[in-house]
A and B are shown apart, each in its own frame.
Chain A
Amino acid sequence: MVAVRKVEEKAKAVQPEPAGIATTTPSGIKAPRVATPDMVGAAIAELPGQYPFTRGIFPDGFRGRTWTMRQYSGFGTAEESNERYAFLLRQGQTGLSVALDLPTQCGYDPTDPMARSEIGKVGVSLSNLSEMEILFDGIDLSKISTSFTINGTAALIYAMYVACAERRGLDPSVLTGTIQNDILKEYVARGTWIFPVRPSMRLTADSILYANRATPRFNPISIAGAHMRDAGCNAVEEMAYTLANGLAYVDELIRRGGDAEKFAKRLSFFFYVHMDLFEEVAKFRAGRRIWARLMKERYGVTDPKAQMFRFGVVCGGSSLVAPQPQNNIVRVAVETMAAVLSGAQSIFTCAYDEAFQIPTEHSAEIALRTQQIIALESGIARSVDALGGSHYVEWLTDETEKRILEKMEELDSHGGAVAAIEEGWLQMRIAQRAHERKRDIDSGAFPIVGLNVHTDDDADKGPSEVFRVDPQASRRVLEKFQKTMDSRDNRAVERSLERLGKAAADDGENLMPYLVECCHAYATIGEMVACLKENWGEFQEPIRL
């Protein structure tokens, strides 16, 4: 009794006037007071598994198979990660996720001055094949699915994975897994670009076309909106710019001789889910519909599998805040419900403490349990597209679709994704949006409980833990690197790099076999990148704000 009154008194004392419920969505869509049957378009007659897949790509939804619950794990040296992987595999896990350190992601060897303070910090250092051999020592590559979060050097790391399998006498066709390999959003949001945009697009296309042939069960790209969302986009912009990037890859793949009917089956997407539940559901329903129509109408694709918009999501990210961190458990739960109601193929749930520290085992477990509770207890996955037919959701899907298409047209008027990124227009637009969002959070116009409304001065704030470099780990990486340099056949390295350079200068060649050859010779990431830079130069960041 006493405690309750105390809280009430405190609440009265510190709270500003309640802001009330905003009548527009975070993307600026004015919601009707109540949606009525006359506001609903034709999609209501559609069925799941039917073109254009507004209601989902599978007729049975999650009845046949629930979504993949994907959680991240571990970092450190190749040896430490290898131990962790062996443990996870003994526990029955079949999928591994590999995070790479920033030097590997940006194409620097550990000996490079730029790499000095970053070796092994946010992931493993994989500078050459010998490190990957340690990473997967004792692990049967034909029995696991490996997901690499890698973009700027994705083709190189994928080539290393192929070489690693071949070294063990495996046919690469047995490999399963994913490389993120979405370079376009790196220029806009995540920043691990290396080469100018157009040769980077070639490298991406080459790796996709090679993968379709050599490792047909491997997903060679995951086209990501998540990082652009984190950098400031709203839901409509996230979907619009991601679809536009997807189309740019399709165009490049076709330019390089690919058949959309085939390669489109292996394209997949990756997004954030934020808190506005219906807007998020509408975003994905609209995205599925737009992608299918574009594939059919613009590219003449007829196989439904090549028209399907497959996507995974992250629940959490920048929607989580540091003050009153346990509130984030509720946020992740709401977002996971939105993801399930949207028909996501895989869901990653963030730990509630991720906004300010490296998750603990306890917080990581709650994140996974959140998915399991929603899957097994909530019943929301029982009937496919349970929100389909809701006047509001159908209206919002149509409205969101319209706005996504407008944003895509605006991007087209700036020359499409590639040109808009080369000129820095898209980066500028997203930075401006981030500034507006921050101003709205500061003023309270965009309410976040615990942060700008219903705050508590005693609440935890700020990160209490960040990635720390272990000086020993960094020294070990450098020692191993030197050992490989001393023991490899330098003439074979030179030959393979020379052939790579010639292929890079010839637009008619697919670069992948040359990269695989370099990896076999223990050429390093830094050497391969230097060779490609000689031919292509480096990306010059256009700075417009």
Chain B
Amino acid sequence: MMIETATEPRAASPLRGKRILVAKPGLDGHDAGAKVVALAMRDAGAEVIYTGLRKSPAYIARVAIDEDVDAVGLSILSGSHKELVAETIAALKEEDAGDIALFVGGTIPAEDIDALIEMGVRTVFTADMKLDDVVDAVAKALA
């Protein structure tokens, strides 16, 4: 499950020392975006853990705690982002880990972004964003 840290990270390593969990909740099987972001964060110096497909929010919360991560990134393209984010936040709180920073990426309509932020998501990423901007946003939130 662990992705090894790149042997030669990019010159800038804004995520050095950070542990980040990338997770696919629900049944949606589109994982290209999750993997690309995982690779980008690895290149930026982070230790990245990727869960693989079809994980329950409870499982994701448990891995986040067991692996002592600084942030969790959920990738959701099925349209179920509101339900799955709410369940993940509840699961993290249940485990007393509500302080872990939560990020969401995927097919998220513009009008839902504010709602997710209000629920407690730090930043919502969409496919048109540059990877460097994604990395910078995560680094800033974790600084």
Measured CB to CB, the nearest residue on chain B to A152 is B29
CA distance A322 to B126 in the complex (A): 11
Query: Are B32 and A106 within 8 A (Cβ)?
Result: no
Stretch at the interface among B46-54, B66-74, B93-101: B46-54
How many A residues are at the interface, by size bracket?
A: 35 or more
- A431 pairs with B84, CB closer than 8 A: no
Q: Which of the segments A243-251, A433-441, A489-497, A522-530 contacts the partner chain? A: A433-441
Compute how far the CA of A464 lies from the CA of B132 in the bound complex, rounded to whole angstroms: 25
Inter-subunit contact A102/B78 (CB<8 Å): yes
Interfacial residues of chain A within 5-63, with CB under 8 A of chain B in the complex: none
Q: A116 CA to B61 CA in the complex, in Å?
A: 19
A451–B131 alpha-carbon span in the complex (Å): 14
**In whole angstroms, how far apart are the Cα atoms of A106 and B48 in the complex?**
27
What are the interface flags for A113-144 relative to B under an 8 Å C-beta threshold, 1 for contact and 0 otherwise?
A: 11111100110000000000000000000000
Q: How far is the CA of A434 from the CA of B40 in the complex (A)?
A: 11
Give A99-114 interface residues, CB cut-off 8 Å to B: 102-103, 105-106, 108, 113-114
Known: A114-B56, A545-B50. A431 touches B35 (CB 8 A): yes
Q: Report which of B1, B52, B83 forms a contact with A117, defined as CB distance below 8 A.
A: B83
Knowing A114-B54, A118-B80, A545-B3, the reply to whether A431 touches B36 (Cβ < 8 A) is: yes
Whether A113 and B56, one on each chain, are in contact in the complex, defined by CB atoms closer than 8 angstroms, is: yes
Instruction: Indicate if A255 sits at the interface (CB-CB under 8 A).
Output: no
Q: Quick check: A464 and B110 within 8 Å, CB to CB?
A: yes
| B window 74-133: CB within 8 A of A | 78-80, 83-84, 107-111, 126-128, 130-132
Contact present for B128 and A541 (CB under 8 Å): no
Interface residues of B in 36-64 (CB under 8 A from A): 36, 38-40, 42, 48, 50, 52-54, 56
| Interface status of B31 (Cβ within 8 A of chain A) | yes
Asked whether A114 and B126 contact (CB < 8 A) given A231-B32, A463-B109, the answer is no
A545 interface neighbour in B28, B39, B78, B127, Cβ under 8 Å: B39
| In-complex Cβ contact of A442 among B30, B48, B132 (8 A) | B132
Considering the chains assembled together, what is the distance between the CA atoms of A464 and B107 in angstroms?
A: 10
Q: Distance (Å) between the CB of A224 and the closest chain B CB?
A: 14
- Contacting A543 at CB < 8 Å: which of B39, B50, B132? B50
Q: Are A117 and B128 closer than 8 Å at their CB atoms?
A: no
Question: Given A118-B78, A435-B39: A466 and B56 within 8 A (CB)?
Answer: no
Contact B80 A469 (CB under 8 A): yes
* Nearest-CB residue, chain B, relative to A431: B35
Choose from A114, A118, A432, A543 the contact partner of B1 (Cβ within 8 Å). Answer: A543
Contact with B along A449-493 (1 / 0, CB 8 A): 001000000000111111111000000000000000000000000
Residues of chain B lying within 8 A (CB to CB) of residue A434: 32, 35-36
In the complex, B9 has a CB within 8 A of chain A: no
Q: Which of A184-192, A213-221, A309-317, A384-392 forms part of the interface with chain B? A: A184-192
- Contacts A103-B27, A541-B53 given: A462-B78 contact, CB under 8 Å? no
Chain A residues with CB below 8 A from B42, complex form: 545
CA distance A462 to B127 in the complex (A): 8
Residues B35 and A117 in contact, CB atoms below 8 Å apart:
no
Please indicate the chain B residues that have their CB under 8 angstroms from the CB of A191 in the complex: 28-31, 53-54
Residues in A neighbouring B38, C-beta threshold 8 A:
545
Q: Are A451 and B128 in contact (CB under 8 A)?
A: yes
Q: Given contacts A114-B56, A323-B128, A435-B40, are A463 and B28 in contact (CB under 8 A)?
A: no
Assembled-state Cα–Cα distance A118/B78 (Å): 8
Q: Are A118 and B26 in contact (CB under 8 A)?
A: yes
Chain A nearest CB from B92 CB (Å) reads 18
| A residues in contact with B132, CB < 8 Å | 442
Closest residue of chain B to A115 (Cβ to Cβ) is: B27
Asked if A186 and B83 make an inter-chain contact with CB atoms under 8 angstroms apart, the answer reads no
B49: nearest residue on chain A (CB-CB)? A543
CA distance in complex: A321, B129 (Å): 12
Distance in angstroms between the alpha carbons of A461 and B128 in the assembled complex? 8
| Interface presence of A232 (CB below 8 A) | yes
Cα distance A464–B38 when bound, in Å? 26
Given A118-B27, A462-B126, A543-B1: A467 in contact with B79 (beta carbons within 8 A): yes
From B29, B30, B52, B108, A463 is in contact (CB under 8 Å) with B108
5 contacts between A and B (CB under 8 A): A117-B80, A431-B39, A434-B32, A545-B38, A545-B42
Taking Cβ atoms with an 8 Å cutoff, the residues of B that contact A are 1, 3, 26-32, 35-36, 38-40, 42, 48, 50, 52-54, 56, 78-80, 83-84, 107-111, 126-128, 130-132
| A122-B79, A321-B128, A468-B79 given; 7 more Cβ-contact pairs under 8 Å | A114-B56, A117-B84, A118-B80, A121-B80, A322-B128, A434-B32, A543-B50
Top 5 nearest A-B pairs (CB, nearest first) are: A191-B29, A466-B79, A102-B27, A431-B35, A467-B79
